[in-house]
Every structure is written in C-alpha cells, then in structure tokens.
Amino acid sequence: NQINIYPNPTTDVIFMDGLPEHTSYQLIDSNGSTLVQGTATGSGLDLSNFSSGIYFLQLQNESKISFKKIFKN
C-alpha cells in the first residue's frame, strides 16, 4: 500500500491516504519533540498553529513504522 501525504509543502492542513487501519501518528519537530499525536482518521491534520519549517510525521501500525518529511510554509 502506497502512503500519500498531501499537500506537501503545506500552509495549513495535510491529508493522509493509503494508511492501514489502526495507524497512529506523531508529528515531530526538528529538535525531536513530539508536537501532536493520535490515531490517523480520514480527516486532515491541522498544522496552521505551527511555525514554518521541516517536520517529521511518524506513522506506526502493527507491522511497521515509517517517517515522512513534511514541509510547512
């Protein structure tokens, strides 16, 4: 299954398609601090309250952990 994170770069909300059921996420800043975490749903993840920069989205389910780089304008 191909995971699609869009739009990237973003100014406010990102969407996640192709995620397996029961996928959790963590949004991590460049210092390694977790900013927000939860269970991925069909709704978007609002980044509008965060500063411009590079973030990492950690996605985890029963079988694997993956990281996606997110660019916030």
Q: How far apart are CA 37 and CA 10, in angstroms?
A: 18
Per-residue pLDDT, 23? 93
Q: How far apart are CA 11 and CA 9, in angstroms?
A: 7
Residue bearing tokens 């996420």: 25
Which residue type is seen at 56? F
Q: How far apart are CA 41 and CA 63, in angstroms?
A: 18
Per-residue pLDDT, 21? 86
pLDDT per residue over 13-61, tens digit each?
999 998 888 899 999 999 999 999 999 887 899 999 999 999 999 999 9
Q: How confident is the model at residue 1 (pLDDT cuts 50, 70, 90)?
A: low
Asked if 66 contacts 59 with a C-beta cutoff of 8 angstroms, the reply is: yes
Per-residue pLDDT, 2? 85
